Amino acid sequence: MLRVIYNALWGIIAPVAVLRLLIRSRKERGYLQHIGERFGHARGRLPEDNAPLIWVHAVSVGETRAA
For residue 55, the model assigns a pLDDT of 78
Q: What are phi and psi of 38, to 5 degrees?
A: -70, -20
- Residue 62's domain spans which residues? 2-66
- What pLDDT is recorded for position 4? 93
Confidence at residue 12, expressed as pLDDT on a 0 to 100 scale = 92
Q: In the chain, what is the straight-line distance between the N-terminal and C-terminal CA atoms, in Å?
A: 37
pLDDT tens string 4-62: 999 999 899 989 988 888 888 888 877 777 777 777 777 777 777 788 877 788 888 78
Domains identified in the chain, total number: 1
